[in-house]
Amino acid sequence: MTKPIHSPLPTTAEDPFLWLEDRTSKPALDWVHGQNARTKERLQGDASYQPRYETALELMTAEDNIAVGYELRGHVYNFWQDKVNTLGLWRRTTVASYKTDKPEWQTIIDFDALSAKEGVRWVFSGARRLYPAFNRCLLNLSPDGGDASEMREFDIETGTFVDGGFQAPVSKSSFSWLDIDTVIVAAAFEAEERTQSGYPRVVKLWKRGTSLAEAVPIFEGEVEDLAVGGALEFDGDTQYLLLTRSIDFYSGHHFVRLASGENRRLPLPDDVCEIALLKGQIVFSVRSPWSAPGGATCLPDGLYAFDFKRWLEMGDIGAIETVLPPAERVSIAHVANTRDRLFISLMDNVRGRVVYAERSGHGWSLTPVSLPENGNVGISHINQFGSSVSFSFTDFLTPSSIIWSDDDGETLATVKAQPARFDASDLVSEQFEARSKDGTLIPYFVVRRRDQKEPVPALLYGYGGFEVPLLPAYAGLRGKLWLEKGYAYVQANIRGGGEFGPRWHQAALRDKRQNAFDDFAAVAQDLVRRGISTPSMLGIQGGSNGGLLTGVSLVQRPELFGAVLIEVPLLDMLRYTELPPGASWMAEYGDPTKPEEAAWLATYSPYQHVADDADYPPVLLTTSTADDRVHPGHARKMAARLQAAGHANALFFEETEGGHGGRGDRRIQAAQTAMKYVFLEQALKGATK
């Protein structure tokens, strides 16, 4: 094993590229434009770029893509983008029409037309509808695709913004309805209203006809917290105003606001996960074992309940009931309820299944939903005010479909199915395991030609953080631009993710982060051992926390890879908390202002480990100027440092809009996708000769 490469660790004062952290300064943007021109010349100048771009755009905007929708009061709502509607349409149709091959859609908002009228490229960022008619909404509009958005009140029936209605400027605040004349505001407008992470610290009630400045505070968190929030939660027609103080990503306090004005804390542990209300019961799960009042023990990956109404009236929770007992290699992906049933989406050895839970006088019972097996099954939409629920099904080789029920999962019908986007007849999906450095077995999937005899170029994808699982999913672009060429795709289920519940995540948390990197390297080595690929033919890809993963892989184990894609990444782990909203992730990584935590961050922080004499494979780093979740300074500084160290094969590209998730114009997304596949083939194709 090649030992990790280390170079002197610069202090902030010694950092020659600190100026690139200034998101919109002229020197920084001049550097970005120069880098973009160089990268475009290299990648868009390739003869294969244009056909790849056209294929990507065609698939992203195809008329026969599935219109994924959710139902409220007999209408199915959907956000849609195609070649004509580049910024998209928010639209709706009846349930009956949605189930047909050609639904008759009613446009609610045309964002291209709105943007042309107002001179701002508005990106739809969601809407909160008003119970019970759902004909008014608080609409969120992002001016650049970032997380910060403007809010306006909109009347769905008339298709117009409400004259003199609720409206708030661009911020990371959130809004929801209390009633027709009152909005719940989690405020992050002024400095004193924000946490150190830049998220809301104060919840207020804002009355119609008053200014935002007159909104009345009802709940506050600490500056050091992650955020606070507030929203109505429903149990049938009964409404509760629940308030949340998120201390960090994995702990918080939950409160219910009583009629007296008291905010009473729910009797739940700090690390509670899922919470749902159903027929007077509150259902929850935990991240670590919890000894509940009365002596019951609640375990991770299980689901539990107590009598919520009893607690409100009497102040004690009574007996804790088990809704779902924990099981080996089974974890909870999602919990949601219709009016009468609780649906639980499960991951069973990285494959999906769904059950529903009901409570009677004998306790809770579980019933499997009759969905396809051995794939990624999940809840697509659920109507908590009715009985409609839909499920998604897919795997690496099966196009996505939507399976709909109007009667709480009793009767199921496939109402939407995406056409095949690539020829999968000669492909196979397999699951293997690699043994990590500490002996832990790490599962991973390989999609490749069934008759593969020799090593081929392969793309290894990973994430490994924030309890996020990577599950099998159909990707037409990957199939068309990669698999159809005879190449392989690999998806690694490394620790830090959520594939096997909280313990799988906690095994790579904070000072244990190296486990995730070792897991990824172990999968790469196992691919070579099995003859699926070779180091020079193996590319790796990851975004956000996955960008940190591929960045670390680059500097720690460059000999294992032939190409490295680092997308919207964290890379300077000694300064990440200085780049908003980096402080929000300290529960995941640690606090670099504390010497003992800075020490473990310093052992792997990619930016500080770039070496002049290392033999790095080709690298492409991508980011967005409008990314207000992971600061573009990470990718900028890493590219500059690699190039300054003499690594001319380090490319950089920064889009000016789209935010962290690349939302907005599909043409921009198609261009980036095409460039990435050109980069991979340029870097790896020589290894096949």
- For residue 425, pLDDT over 80 is answered with yes
Q: Name the band, by pLDDT with cuts 50, 70 and 90, for residue 362.
A: confident
pLDDT score for 686: 65
Indicate whether 479 and 516 sit together in one domain. yes
Indicate whether 527 and 513 sit together in one domain. yes
Say if strands 75-80 and 290-291 run parallel, antiparallel, or are unpaired. Answer: unpaired
User: Quick check: is 544 catalytic?
Assistant: yes
Q: What angle do CA 64, 68, 70 make, to 5 degrees?
A: 150
Q: Specify if 304 maps to a domain.
A: no
pLDDT score for 614: 95
CA distance 189 to 474: 40
Indicate whether 159 and 229 sit together in one domain. no
Indicate whether 526 and 433 sit together in one domain. yes
How far from the centroid of its chain's Cα atoms is residue 53's Cα? Answer: 25
pLDDT score for 684: 96
User: Hey, what amino acid is at 190?
Assistant: E
Contact between 230 and 245 (Cβ < 8 Å): no
Domain containing 223: what range? 176-265
Q: Specify if 81 maps to a domain.
A: yes
Q: Specify if 11 maps to a domain.
A: no
pLDDT score for 660: 74
pLDDT digit string (tens) for 495-521? 999 999 999 999 999 999 999 999 999
CA distances from residue 18 to 136, 219, 286, 579, 585 in whole angstroms, order as listed: 46, 38, 41, 11, 21
Last residue of a domain, one of 154, 171, 188: 171
Last residue of a domain, one of 265, 282, 313: 265
Q: How many domains does the chain have?
A: 3
Indicate whether 190 and 165 sit together in one domain. no
- For residue 603, pLDDT over 50 is answered with yes
pLDDT score for 238: 96
CA distance 581 to 588: 13
Q: Specify if 403 maps to a domain.
A: no
pLDDT digit string (tens) for 571-586? 999 999 999 999 999 9
User: Quick check: is 660 catalytic?
Assistant: yes
Last residue of a domain, one of 250, 265, 280: 265
Q: Specify if 8 maps to a domain.
A: no
Q: Give me the CATH number covering residue 628.
A: 3.40.50.1820
CA distances from residue 4 to 486, 595, 596, 605, 615 in whole angstroms, order as listed: 33, 22, 21, 12, 12
The better pLDDT of the pair 51, 663 is held by 51
Indicate whether 527 and 649 sit together in one domain. yes
pLDDT score for 658: 80
pLDDT digit string (tens) for 311-336? 999 999 999 999 999 999 999 999 99
Give the active site residue among 331, 544, 553, 624. Answer: 544
Indicate whether 594 and 527 sit together in one domain. yes
Note the pTM of the prediction, 2 decimals.
Answer: 0.95
Lowest mean pLDDT across 159-168, 293-302, 634-643, 646-655? 293-302
